[in-house]
Structure 1
Amino acid sequence: MEYTLMTHIRRLVIDVLKPHEPSTLEFAQQVSEAESVAGVNASVIELDREVQNVKFTIEGESIDYDTVEAIIEDAGGSVHSVDQIACGEYIVEDAPTPQD
């Protein structure tokens, strides 16, 4: 059985492996220019001699993941993992649980 997913991605949190150049500022600006992206938050998580791990939190009404991934790859980076995704009519914030 095949399922077709037709929902809007509102928030996307991804771990990106990127070279030092372009800078994180330039990288974030490039991602923010995607038509489906309303805002981007970029935080450097880890830094070594050749690459950086950057956490990108991206929000929009209907984020086009393929476009975001293509922009990242065109700038020399790669999506290491998708760490959070929020879909639907609105963003549901995580509720605290006893494990937190």
Structure 2
Amino acid sequence: MSAPLRRIVLDVMKPIKGPSIIDVAKSIASIDGIEGVNITVEEMDVETAGLNITIEGNDIPFEKVEDMLENLGCVIHSIDQVISGKRIVEEKNLED
């Protein structure tokens, strides 16, 4: 059995005429294994909004997150962070 996904940070494009970010957050949060969702609008143009989506949980089912976003008309541009294991390990900045 593989270690559970605890946090995923995604760069996502959402159509402006699609669902609101509130609806996107609620839809993702409704998936079993997800405890919290944070969505920040990073940029906007005439047709799309660039979103930074942080998802945390005990065992995030990434395939279900992908399917949910696709059904909402969103496209994942990149996976910017993944944390997996028994606990969340925060990144350490060695320059501090």
TM range, smaller chain: over 0.9
In the alignment, the residues of structure 2 paired with residue 97 and residue 18 of structure 1 have an alpha-carbon distance, to the nearest angstrom, of 35
**Amino acid corresponding to residue 61 of structure 1 in structure 2:** N
How far apart are 1:96 and its partner, in Å? 1.3
Aligned counterparts, 1:28-67, within 5 A: 28-67=25-64
Q: 1:14-34, CA deviations, whole angstroms, 9 ceiling, x for partnerless residues?
A: 011111220111111111111
**Amino acid corresponding to residue 78 of structure 2 in structure 1:** S
4+ residue runs over 4 A deviation:
none
**Amino acid corresponding to residue 31 of structure 1 in structure 2:** I
CA-atom RMSD in angstroms: 1.2
**Amino acid corresponding to residue 18 of structure 1 in structure 2:** K
Question: Gapped runs of 5+ residues in structure 1?
Answer: none
Partner of residue 7 from structure 1, selected from 3, 10, 13: 3
Bigger Cα Rg: 1
Aligned counterparts, 1:54-93, within 5 A: 54-93=51-90
The count of residues paired between Structure 1 and Structure 2 equals 95
**Amino acid corresponding to residue 88 of structure 1 in structure 2:** G
Question: Gapped runs of 5+ residues in structure 2?
Answer: none
Higher strand fraction: Structure 1 or Structure 2? 2
**Amino acid corresponding to residue 35 of structure 2 in structure 1:** A
Identity of aligned residues (%): 37
Q: TM-score, structure 2 length as denominator?
A: 0.94
Partner of residue 94 from structure 2, selected from 80, 86, 97: 97
In the alignment, the residues of structure 2 paired with residue 27 and residue 63 of structure 1 have an alpha-carbon distance, to the nearest angstrom, of 16
Q: 1:22-75, CA deviations, whole angstroms, 9 ceiling, x for partnerless residues?
A: 011111111111112110000000100000110000000000000001000000
1:19 aligns to what? 15
**Amino acid corresponding to residue 47 of structure 1 in structure 2:** M
